[in-house]
Each structure stands twice: as C-alpha cells, then as structure tokens.
C-alpha cells in the first residue's frame, strides 16, 4: 500500500471531517488518506487526587453512569476506576441479549426504558454498537407456562410494550430448526418480543468509554481499588493501587464483586457471587434470526454476525468467584440445546467462558444509597446486567446527581429487603442460587 503524500488535497478535507466524530464520510476519506487521521477513542487518564464522583468499575454500568452524569446532569468531575483494561469483565462476557419481557410491572418499566435508550444509543454515542432488534422468542411446553406467558404478555401490552403470542406453527415458521415434537418437552407455542434483540457488547463498553471521555470524565485503567475511606458514617474516598483518591460520592459498579467492595466499607449486601457460563459454536450459514429461549430449562441462543451460535444456560449453582464454568452445567446446556434444536447435534463448540455475577436475594438488581453517606451501589444484576446498561447508568447518575432515586429505579433500593418489598421475579424466595 502506498502512503498518500501529506499534500494530497483530500487530506485537508479529512482533517476537517476528523473533528473526532465517526461517520461514513470520514471512513471514506480516511480510506483515501491511508487511515492516518484516527486518534485514540478515549484518553488514558492518570488519576487525580480528588474527584466529585469516583465510580469503581469500568464495565457497562460504570461507563454509562459516567457518560450520563456528564451529559444529562452536567457533572464532569468524574473518574471511572478499572482494575484492568475496560470491557474485559461481564460487559464482554454476556450473551448480548436485550429485551424487556419481564413479569413485574416495575421491572418491565425499567427494562423498557433501557430498551428505548438502546434504540437511540448509537446516534447518542456516535458509535456503531450493532443494535439488532431481531426479536426475542420464548417457547413454552406446558399449559401452565402458556398461561404465565400470556399473563406476562398482557402485562407488557398494558404498559405499552410489544409482546405477541405465537402458535406452534408460527414458532416453526419463524425458527425451522426447532423440533416441535421432541420426545421430552414438545413445544406448544411461543411468546415473542419483536423489539428485543442483540447488541455487540464490546462496542457498548468502547462507545460509552469514548463518549464519557469526550464529555470530560477520566477513565483510569489498571487502577484497582483496595480500600474505601470512611469518616464515621461518611465515605470520603478510595485507596487504590495508584494512590488514594478523595471523592464526595463513591459509586460501586462492580457487579460480581459488589460484596467484596462493600466489605471494604464494612457493609454486607444481600448478594452471593455465582458463575454463569456462555458458549459459542463454530460459524455456520444463517440459521437463526431471533434470540430463542427454551422454556423447559435454562437455555438461550442467538446467531452472531460471524455465524457462530452464542448460547448460555443457568448459573453453576454454588458461590464462586472463579471466572470459569464447570462441566455439569455445560452438559445440561448441551442437553437442552439437543432437545430443542437437534439439528445442531454435530456443531462444534469453539469457546466456553464464565462470568462472575451478583446474584441478589430476590433476583432483581440494586441501585441504591447505602447506610453510609456518599456510597452508592449499582449491582445485584443477576442475569440482567447487560440489557440494563443504559437505564442502569442513567438512573445511577440520577441518584448520584440529585441525591434521590430516579422514579424508574426507586423500587431497586436496598431497603426493600427489610421492608418486605422484594421484587421476586420467579417467586423463588431468598435463595440466590435458585433465581
């Protein structure tokens, strides 16, 4: 490839276009000028000794909180501290599904708000996150399950959210791979949320990081928080591997490790850490244009743009901080896949990985103040962290800036447990391993 000389007339245009914004024009012009006009997407900040807000955790929720603090609430004196590079935690380990087909009205409203933010996210961030609203289809296998899904669909529709019941035949038409009359759990029908879908998860971390950095927040990588400073019942900052940092507000956005960080401040949370596995198969031609969820076990699958089938199951089921899954659950997921989609039997699994998650006591997230003044917790995301990133970030930013909960996240407070207002989506009781 011949580098284009600096005096090339398009170079001047390219420099004008490259004000930092990404666009088709810029891509075209950079193509003509040797791709030399691109700069780093976000600044690698060194930590200062004090900030108004310190967010611990450079995952989806931490970065989104910093972005909304700057753009919606005008607070730019913010640092996001991440112990490694950003995007390597749960934001890059999930199965990329977005949806709002919940059971409890409060949860539907919250996740629907998130889905609406996903719909406008790429324009807002000026970053291609490959938001693909291909639909989320849950299939059911018993009459009772049909009744439950019908109730869920009705609740959603009453709240203005899209939900469609599908007949057996419609399920087959939509996903020809499904074995309707499989020997174990014949499929009786389905429940579709057409606006659900997938998003490229790495792009979410990078897009929020770039936009937050541009808006003025410091994104500090390789800065592990080792302690939380307290003055009585008030949190005054954090100790880190890069020195102490003072802050008016410290926000924990470290789902998976919330308990460990809270313990540094002397708090015990209603959370256990569990590992959730995900898998991806070798790439094949397009066979699945919807996110498909099995009703007789925990199994969900979608096809990535590279052609690999991305799928996951339930948590392994006992407390762990190990970012790796074990074989019994891998076997269970494979068995569910074979029951629902036997045509995939000869497909090879290319990769398998695990992410450590906050499993809360009622299966719902926590966006809350704590008994310590100046300490905010965003955690307890269970299976729902990725899809909640935009709404989680925005409502956490609201809580930090206004010092009062956002109306859509007010039910996610920590006091709900003692007050008997738990939001138990599955009715499983205070047993995190059962959610």
Partner 1 sequence: MLRIPCPWCGERDETEFRYRGDASQSRPAAEAGLAAFNAYVYERQNPCGWHLEWWLHVGGCRKLLKVVRHTLSHEIHSVGGPEDPLSLPQGLTR
Judged by beta carbon, residue 225 or residue 271, the one nearer partner 1 is 271
Work out which of 43, 317, 347, 428 binds partner 1, going by CB under 8 A: 317
CA–CA distance, 380 with 364 (Å, rounded to integer): 7
Query: Scanning residues 323 to 342, which ones bind partner 1 (CB under 8 A)?
Result: 326-328
272 binds partner 1 (CB under 8 A): yes
Judged by beta carbon, residue 120 or residue 371, the one nearer partner 1 is 371
Judged by beta carbon, residue 73 or residue 417, the one nearer partner 1 is 417
CA–CA distance, 222 with 241 (Å, rounded to integer): 8
Query: Scanning residues 70 to 99, which ones bind partner 1 (CB under 8 A)?
Result: none
320 binds partner 1 (CB under 8 A): yes
353 binds partner 1 (CB under 8 A): no
Sign of CA dihedral 156, 390, 279, 381: negative
427 binds partner 1 (CB under 8 A): no
CA–CA distance, 280 with 278 (Å, rounded to integer): 7
Nearest residue to 235 (alpha-carbon basis) of 100, 375, 412, 339: 375
Nearest residue to 73 (alpha-carbon basis) of 251, 252, 254: 251
34 binds partner 1 (CB under 8 A): no
260 binds partner 1 (CB under 8 A): yes
> What is the three-class DSSP state of 402?
helix
Where does this chain touch partner 1 (CB under 8 A) — which range of 22-30, 36-44, 220-228, 322-330? 322-330
Q: Residues with Cβ < 8 Å from 3, sequence gap 6 or more?
A: 34, 36
**Whole-number minimum distance, CB 335 to partner 1, in Å?**
12
Work out which of 217, 271, 340, 394 binds partner 1, going by CB under 8 A: 271
Judged by beta carbon, residue 25 or residue 318, the one nearer partner 1 is 318
Asked if residue 290 lies in contact with residue 98, where contact means CB atoms within 8 angstroms, the answer is: no
Where does this chain touch partner 1 (CB under 8 A) — which range of 13-21, 201-209, 259-267, 290-298? 259-267
Work out which of 58, 62, 197, 270 binds partner 1, going by CB under 8 A: 270
Nearest residue to 101 (alpha-carbon basis) of 178, 197, 200, 199: 197
155 binds partner 1 (CB under 8 A): no
**Whole-number minimum distance, CB 241 to partner 1, in Å?**
15
Kindly state the number of chain residues that form the binding site for partner 1, as judged by CB under 8 A: 26
Residue 124 tokens, joined: 């807002």
Where does this chain touch partner 1 (CB under 8 A) — which range of 34-42, 85-93, 255-263, 340-348? 255-263
| Strand 245-252 with 308-315, pairing | unpaired
Q: Is 60 left (phi over 0), alpha (psi -120 to 50) or beta?
A: alpha
361 binds partner 1 (CB under 8 A): yes
266 binds partner 1 (CB under 8 A): no
Query: Scanning residues 181 to 200, which ones bind partner 1 (CB under 8 A)?
Result: none
Query: Scanning residues 366 to 405, which ones bind partner 1 (CB under 8 A)?
Result: none
**Whole-number minimum distance, CB 432 to partner 1, in Å?**
8
Q: Residues with Cβ < 8 Å from 424, sequence gap 6 or more?
A: 362, 363, 364
Angle at the Cα of 398 from the Cα atoms of 361 and 363, rounded to 5 degrees: 15
| Strand 78-81 with 218-220, pairing | parallel
Query: What does the binding site for partner 1 look like in residue numbers (CB under 8 A)?
Result: 257, 259-260, 263, 268-273, 317-322, 326-328, 361, 417-418, 430-433
């Amino acid at each position: 490839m011949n580098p284009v000389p600096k005096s090339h007339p398009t170079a001047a245009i390219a420099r004008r276009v490259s004000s930092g914004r990404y666009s088709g024009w810029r891509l075209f012009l950079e193509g003509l000028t040797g791709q030399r006009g691109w700069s780093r997407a976000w600044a690698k900040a060194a930590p200062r000794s004090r900030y108004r807000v310190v967010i611990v955790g450079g995952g989806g929720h931490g970065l989104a909180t910093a972005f909304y603090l700057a753009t919606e609430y005008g607070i730019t004196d913010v640092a996001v501290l991440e112990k490694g590079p950003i995007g390597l935690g749960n934001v890059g380990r999930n199965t990329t599904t977005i949806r709002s087909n919940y059971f409890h009205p409060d949860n539907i409203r919250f996740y629907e708000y998130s889905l609406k933010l996903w719909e406008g996210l790429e324009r807002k961030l000026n970053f291609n996150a490959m938001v693909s609203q291909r639909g989320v289809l849950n299939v059911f296998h018993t009459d009772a399950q049909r009744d439950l899904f019908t109730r869920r669909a009705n609740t959603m529709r009453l709240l203005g959210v899209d939900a469609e019941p599908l007949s057996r035949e419609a399920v087959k038409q939509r996903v020809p791979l499904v074995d309707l009359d499989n020997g174990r759990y014949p499929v009786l029908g389905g429940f579709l949320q057409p606006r659900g879908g997938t998003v490229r998860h790495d792009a979410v971390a990078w897009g929020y990081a770039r936009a937050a950095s541009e808006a003025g927040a410091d994104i500090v990588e390789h800065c592990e928080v080792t302690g939380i400073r307290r003055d009585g019942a008030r949190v005054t900052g954090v100790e880190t591997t890069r020195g102490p940092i003072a802050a008016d507000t410290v926000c924990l956005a470290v789902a998976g490790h919330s308990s460990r960080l809270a313990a540094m401040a002397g708090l015990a949370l209603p959370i256990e850490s569990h590992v959730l596995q995900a898998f991806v198969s070798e790439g094949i031609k397009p066979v699945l244009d919807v996110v498909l969820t099995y009703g007789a076990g925990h199994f969900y699958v979608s096809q990535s743009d590279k052609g690999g089938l991305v799928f996951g199951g339930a948590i392994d089921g006992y407390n762990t901080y190990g970012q790796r899954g074990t074989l019994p659950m891998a076997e269970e997921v494979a068995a569910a896949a074979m029951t629902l989609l036997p045509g995939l039997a000869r497909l090879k699994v290319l990769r398998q990985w695990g992410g450590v998650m906050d499993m809360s006591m009622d299966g719902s997230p926590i966006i809350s103040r704590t008994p310590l003044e100046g300490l905010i917790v965003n955690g307890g995301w269970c299976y729902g962290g990725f899809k909640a990133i935009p709404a989680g970030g925005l409502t956490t930013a609201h809580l930090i800036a206004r010092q009062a909960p956002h109306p859509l996240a007010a039910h996610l407070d920590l006091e709900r447990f003692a007050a008997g207002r738990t939001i138990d989506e599955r009715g499983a009781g205070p047993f995190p391993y059962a959610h």
